[in-house]
Structure 1
Amino acid sequence: MRVFESLNCIVCKQPYARVVNQPRSPRQLSCGLAMCNECFVEEEEMDEEERKHQCELGYCFDNRNFAYFLIDALSQEEALLFTPMGYLLMKPFKIPECPICHDEYFLNELPEMTQQMETIEAALMNAKDARSCNECHEKDTIDKMFYCSACSLEICAICAYKKHRSHEAIPLLEKQANQMLMELQEESRNVIKTYKDLVPELHKGLLEGIDIFETELLSEEDTLKDASTFADLREKNETFTKIKSNFESSAENYLPHLRRFDAEVKQLNQALKEIRIQAYMENFYNSLDLFCE
């Protein structure tokens, strides 16, 4: 399995550290290449002809900066898996940009590493979908196997034909789909029920609170007629106006969340509708193909 050679030191071939000021932190050379901090210090103290890094420039070690573009790349920890041999690509990788000109740093190995990642993902997916026949123990994918309901066995196509021909055998994929459907719908019912029960209760409590607030506010505002002076009257009026404004502000802060929730539920309903339409059209075209044949 290949690792990113460009993310290893050009001298010691060890993978770079993800941070600065470490022995394996990448240091940038004036020629554009990089080496780890430890090798940089060692090479810098050597005579030019003794260095492992030979370059026509001759002033490669004049640059005192760490290779921050490499550190930015290595900071994508979910995409790059560290191993003692180097970094492996595990997820799609964002090539860092120069903060000045915004050009992308090229990594020549990225296409090959991306292909390797996709190959590994496909192999893992196939391994996940593979099952062993309960009769002959040969491995095959779920898509090609059967389930004998009479014997409660998962079997390959050959064993289904040879040993279970008289039994009711259904595609294993169908059994998995039925089982997954039951689990999925049970979970869906529980999730939706939680919020169907919660939202009315919250609204009930909210409406009760608003009713109490209305009664109390109107009752307190009624005390304006008992004001002893105009200054007292104005102070009470300002107090109740401020309380009412706070209520409006709280309501306006709450309503956008409620509207967004309503809009997002409608979007989800539309997405489900589009899935149904797509499935209908696929079935229609499949039927049309069979008719034309």
Structure 2
Amino acid sequence: MTGKKQDAPADFPWWLLAMGLLLGAGIFGVLSDSHYKAALSMLSGGIWITAMVSVVAYLGACVLGLGLAAMAMSRAVWLRQISRFYIELIRGLPILVLLLYVAFALTPMLIAGLNALTAVFGAEPLNSRDVPLLWRAVLALILAYSAFLAEIFRAGIEAVDAGQSEAAQALGLSRWQRFRLVIFPQAFRIILPPFGNDFIAMVKDSSLVAILGVTDIAQLAKIAVSQNFRYMETYNVAAMLYLTMTLGLSLMLRGLERWLKRAPPR
């Protein structure tokens, strides 16, 4: 006995091997079956829409969520109450319901309010049909995920020891410098797992925009099966595309987490 604690051996990623075999079977099906090739050819056109909706909506949700988190930690009671009201309201609604509400109720309401405001200046009125359903869907996803991200940001920032901010203040750093250089880098290490999980969830939930006719992967799959009735081949390819994206993101996030654990804090 040397008295030194030995590191436990790393588990072999059997789950990743099984996932690779599953994706390999899907690739083999695409290469060897004309129906799979046709399904992939049609559905691949929706990859860009799925990726764009996911990235744009998540970036917008991050900005709004960070603002809500700042309001939730504000000294002003009314800001904290507004933030809590918004978060509880949005989290209490199914994303599908919110998507339909934003697309067919909130957007026309906003357009009507904007028209009433611009009519004073003699501007031409806008029509709600001028707002594409794609951007209505993006707005709905921004609103939905901002509530979840606000709680993630708030919890991560509050988890940083208050002494860190006090020490930075003693060194003469401004409030913004304390947040940017001291608080947020430490909070980011804490929030990375749930932050990444929410982005993966966003990629999957982006398929809900198909209900508005946005031509993402899910919508193109619906169109394809309505034409060829090849449910097995079409939905296998759709599942493979989504799985490839989410698995790739998951592996990237795991790698980033391991790197941050090894990297010394600044």
User: With CA pairs under 8 Å and 6+ residues apart, which has the higher RCO, 1 or 2?
Assistant: 2
Q: Report which of the two has the higher share of helix.
A: 2
Which of the two has higher C-alpha Rg?
A: 1
Report if TM-score (shorter chain) is over 0.5: no
Give the structure with the larger strand fraction.
1
How does the TM-score come out when normalised to structure 1? 0.21
